[in-house]
Structure 1
Amino acid sequence: MTHDATERTDRQPRAVVVGGGLAGVTAALRLAEAGLGVTLLEGRPRLGGLVFSFRRSDLSVDNGQHVYLRCCTAYRWFLDRIDGARLAPLQDRLDVPVLDVGGPAGPRLGRIRRDALPVPLHLARGLAGYPHLSLAERASVGRAALALKKLDPADPALDGIDFATWLGRYGQSPRAVEALWDLIGVPTLNAPAAESSMGLAAMVFKTGLLSEPGAADIGWAHVPLGELHDTRAAKELDALGVRTVLRTKAERISRTDGGRWTVEVPGETLEADVVVLAVPQQETHGLLPEGALDDPDRLLDIGTAPILNLHVVYGRKVLKRPFFTALGSPVQWVFDRTESSGLTGGGQYLAVSQSAAQDEIDEPVAALRAKYLPEMERLLPAARGAGVRDFFVTRERTATFAPAPGVGRLRPGARTRARGLYLAGAWTATGWPATMEGAVRSGLSAAGAALSTLGRRHDHPLQEAA
């Protein structure tokens, strides 16, 4: 062995991760833990990607309400890794208040909840007492759930049909779709049943409701999301020696004559043995070197879907519960963000999360205010006369990839045809919809693939995903 070869063997491998969202941060953490020298590039002035916080006067505001479930084992690993699990606790037991204001008898509250019995009996009592469906509809839902439990979400045939078609085959009425399946599916998939891949829907409902009794218990941050995905994540990256470069985008990625990679950024060229692209699909398409994917244009066929969030600060408390969801109203999910925002002065800050918001994403704030404030008063009588101290809107026009039928065949895996180049992001082939869970899983997969290529021993933190 020559002296030069020995130096190359002993040299610390270098990695560049492009993108500082959950996928990129996860990949950077795992690569740095394995001993690589890591540079993390992020175009924004903070980490967290599309899951972040900002200041508005004295409030700390999340750009949108984000929740996770007990079955989200990768995101829970991430929270543990950044010492944030206690700041985003889970419910002791699934309990979702559902307020129906569209019935002839006036507003009626129901609940989607579970008990401690084994699957599927854990939901039986809750379904039997769910007042927003008839007795026949509840029995039909039970039969469809048992059929769904037998499906393999990875079956390519399921990706080719929409969820609504499958529900129709199993006798689900329009009311059952509205009051149960879409109530859960729309915020999780960011699309109604008619526009959702059956494969992704099967993943959501089978994993969340039919795998373990507590799988669907809901968790959410009790602090601003920036505390978790930016501040605490940055602290862990710093402790591992990761060089984090904000306000910096990769301009070009190319292969060197020696088989390494160069990543060009304004004023600097970085060299690396491993590059992880953890940016949206359109940006990834623009950075991919020729030959990295068989058909890179397929990335451009992965559509996007928006999420609209309305933020209302009332002069007094108008909601006693931490959250609820609504039927018979354009309002979807409402969360109390008073404590996490730092609001003082006796008021209450509610965040209204509107998924699949294609029809409203570009509506003027004044039009949204005129539409939704009366709706909030209809849902919450205590809001009448409470006084609105502030009303503002956050819009994520490309919040998620669109979960349309056929999207599964478009989503690439972590590995590319170019040795040392890997892909991450919730839009990659994780098997999950565009969730925080999917983003973290993609980062784990990309880092694992890179370490395997380098011959680095590593243990995947999730046994089931190894």
Structure 2
Amino acid sequence: MLRVPGPFRPHHHVTARPDLPHRVGPDATAVVVGGGVAGVSAALVLAERGVRVELLEAAPQLGGRLGTWDRRLSDGSEVIVEHGYHGFFRQYYTLRDLLRRLDPELGFLRDVGGYPIASRPSVGWEPEDFTALPRTPLLNLVALVLRSPSFKLGELRHVNADEALAMLHYDPVRTYAEHDHRSAAELLDSLGFSDRGRAMLFEVFAHSFFNVEQRYSAAEFLAMCHFYFTGNPEGLGMDAPVDDYRTTLWDPFTRLLEKHGATVTTGARAVSLRPDGARGWAVDVEGEPARQARHLVVATDVPATRELVAASPELAAAAPGLARRIAALPSGEPYLVARLYCEGDVDPARAPFTGVTRERVLDSVSLFHRLEGGSARWARERGGSVVELHSYACPPAASRDELVAAMREELTALWPEAADLRVLDAESHRYTNAPGFDPGYHLVRPGVLTDARGLRLAGDWVACEVPSALMERAAVTAVTAANDVLREEGAGPEPMRSIRPRGVLAGRR
């Protein structure tokens, strides 16, 4: 195993406190609203420490944006469908520590095997692949410049060095002070990279967070560069579950939560929140009795959180600042996922996951029959394939059917053999629940702790001092929320690691 140099090893943002009790007293209670990565993570940490927890999820299944549902295809077969592909990157230390509760060896994750970025042949660009670079920060950047066909040494003379080095100078305070008022598009324009370098290395990256450059904060973009590349000692290799999320994650997590005494209630939609005097908080549930608890963690997505707080006048009266911030939460762009059940297959040399650039709609292609067991079984029995097309930031005016048709056309332009696929069935959905990271919003973005005592927030949209994003941000904010409950109950915190909080050149001229 390659050893990571000391300065780049994971940073312990929260350390254990053996001088404090590990478990809370018998009266500690909590309700967690939202059963995605954030809600399950918060509920699990609390339940392990003796808090009596109820986890409420409005959908019939746990999972949030990693949720699943059953589908009968036109050929009569029963399959489990998901919201879409998610990469489990190796610097997701907090999420992986939680996943190790299910399997210490993480045997349910497999190496995806590559992270290529491709464009259609007519564009004339060779594919990029980020997986063969050194893991050590700075060395990975040097190797990228030397190896990447997107960079030519002569073109680098035109790059704005001050703007480019902002990635290495990342600082969680100074970077936002200097760059949050700008859009990522303005930053990328000022860098001076070639059109190819910008498209292959940066446009794909910005879209991966369900935002377009024009609406994405330059400071957020630099923070993501730090987390995924310039400050990341794990490289850009990623893993994916060997089977569907229900089988590998949500059913095992449900069993584990119940083992620790938690109550998992699905199909329970929280409709309002209100302070409940000395008892803490009450959660009104549609068609069911209200739940009361000393502590409350709200771990819902942006639209659901806005709706829930808007329907909670007593919360708004108790915490008007929080209510205003929640009402102003920006959403990301609409995104589309289409899973195609096909007769025939694409070239065996195609990677299980491919990022796509320079298309109007299509942003990635995932070959699920080469990733997960259920899809592999379906494809093997029928001599077919399961191909998922993803648009991270799709044109908002187009209909779902128009977008799916456009993605299929763009797939054929990218991989000509895809024209021979016969689609037997399709499952497609257009979503509007991704968070937005608009320029200038950072200073008022809600954090985990709120001005309503006993109420904490968790999710990938919540402000957080620990470097993180996407699923890892959901897990980090959840553990942070749980730790604040444990602090109030007199117990020691759950340890938490991440990458170093500052860039390798932060503090240097």
Work out whether the TM-score is over 0.5: yes
Cα 1:103–1:131 change in 2 (3 A) is: farther
Other-structure match for 1:418:
452
Q: Residue 399 of structure 2: which of 344, 360, 363 is its match?
A: 363
Other-structure match for 2:9:
none
Cα 1:11–1:65 change in 2 (3 A) is: closer
Does 2:258 correspond to 1:222? no
Distance 1:10 1:205 in 2: 42
Cα 1:259–1:239 change in 2 (3 A) is: closer
Other-structure match for 2:20:
none
Distance 2:173 2:227 in 1: 12
Give the secondary-structure state (helix, strand or coil) at the position aligned to 2:496. Answer: coil
Return the letter of the residue paired with 1:31: L
Other-structure match for 1:3:
none
Give the secondary-structure state (helix, strand or coil) at the position aligned to 1:285. Answer: helix
Other-structure match for 2:142:
124
Deviation at 1:193, TM superposition (A): 2.6
Return the letter of the residue paired with 2:253: A
Other-structure match for 1:325:
355
Distance 1:125 1:111 in 2: 12
The farther-off stretch of 415-424 and 440-449 is 415-424
Q: Residue 311 of structure 1: which of 335, 339, 348 is its match?
A: 339
Deviation at 1:278, TM superposition (A): 1.4
8 Å CA contact retained: 1:113, 1:126:
no
Deviation at 1:427, TM superposition (A): 1.5
Does 2:172 correspond to 1:166? no
8 Å CA contact retained: 2:160, 2:191:
no
Give the secondary-structure state (helix, strand or coil) at the position aligned to 2:321. Answer: coil
Q: Residue 408 of structure 1: which of 426, 429, 442 is its match?
A: 442
Distance 2:322 2:214 in 1: 28
Does 2:275 correspond to 1:240? no
Other-structure match for 1:346:
383
1:163-242 equivalences under 5 Å are 163-187=184-208, 189-242=209-262
- The TM-score with structure 1 as length reference comes to 0.88
Other-structure match for 1:453:
488
Other-structure match for 1:392:
427
Q: How many residues align?
A: 451
Does 2:256 correspond to 1:267? no
Deviations 1:312-363 (A, max 9, x none): 2221121432122233333221111015224231111111111112436x51
8 Å CA contact retained: 2:227, 2:499:
no
Does 2:31 correspond to 1:16? yes
Unaligned runs of 5+ in 1: 1-8
8 Å CA contact retained: 1:164, 1:194:
yes
Cα 1:141–1:243 change in 2 (3 A) is: farther
Return the letter of the residue paired with 2:470: T
Give the secondary-structure state (helix, strand or coil) at the position aligned to 2:426. Answer: strand
8 Å CA contact retained: 2:92, 2:498:
no
1:64-83 equivalences under 5 Å are 64-83=84-103
Cα 1:416–1:385 change in 2 (3 A) is: closer
Distance 2:267 2:62 in 1: 10
- The TM-score with structure 2 as length reference comes to 0.81
Return the letter of the residue paired with 1:149: L
8 Å CA contact retained: 1:299, 1:410:
no
Distance 2:196 2:44 in 1: 45
Cα 1:372–1:152 change in 2 (3 A) is: same
Give the secondary-structure state (helix, strand or coil) at the position aligned to 2:31. Answer: strand
Other-structure match for 2:12:
none
Other-structure match for 1:4:
none
8 Å CA contact retained: 1:128, 1:138:
no
Deviation at 1:197, TM superposition (A): 0.9
Distance 1:381 1:278 in 2: 43
RMSD after superposition: 2.8
Deviation at 1:382, TM superposition (A): 2.1
Distance 1:125 1:142 in 2: 19
Distance 1:395 1:446 in 2: 31
Distance 1:210 1:254 in 2: 43
Give the secondary-structure state (helix, strand or coil) at the position aligned to 1:39. Answer: strand
Deviations 1:248-272 (A, max 9, x none): 1223333334353333333323221
Q: Which protein has greater RCO, CA pairs closer than 8 Å, 6+ apart? A: 2
Distance 2:457 2:258 in 1: 23
